[in-house]
Structure 1
Amino acid sequence: MKRINILYDGKQYSVSGRDVDEVKEEIRAAVESAVPTWLEVNVGEGKYKRADILLSPGIAVAVIGIDADD
């Protein structure tokens, strides 16, 4: 997996160096938790620019795995 795109509140972010299932599990656990949780992501492409998105019930998040061939 080259990277993982995260769609959150209509905006695209990315995560690299992690497994899609690992990220999905982190999101699932955060949504089921009574305490909102932050997920570290990257804004844009190229140079890393950190952003933290808040995960909690009712917030729509999509996880898209991007292969090296795409």
Structure 2
Amino acid sequence: MKRVNIFYGGRQYSLSDREIGELQAEIAAGIASAQPAWLEVNVGEGRYQPAHLLLTPGVDLVLVPIEGE
């Protein structure tokens, strides 16, 4: 998989070289955790600029897999 676009709080973020199932499992574990969990992502699609998204129950989060060419 080339990239996963992530929509969180009305903004777009991305992750490269991640499998969608692996990412879904990481997010589910973070939400189920008793401790705050953060997902490190890239802001947009260009040069890596890290952002940390707080994973909580009820968070508006969408994953869109982008296949490689």
How many residues were matched structurally? 69
- Which amino acid is 2:5 matched to? N
> What 5-or-longer segments of structure 2 have no aligned partner?
none
The equivalent of 1:13 in structure 2 is 13
SS at match of 1:28: helix
**Identity of paired residues, percent?**
51
The alpha-carbon deviation at position 6 of structure 1 amounts to 0.7
What are the ranges of 5 or more consecutive residues in structure 1 without an aligned counterpart?
A: none
TM (norm. structure 1) is 0.90
Deviations 1:18-62 (A, max 9, x none): 111100000011111111201000002221111111001121111
Stretches of 4+ moved more than 3 A in 1?
Answer: none
Q: Structure 2 matches for 1:1-70, cutoff 5 A?
A: 1-69=1-69
Normalising to structure 2: TM-score of the pair? Answer: 0.91
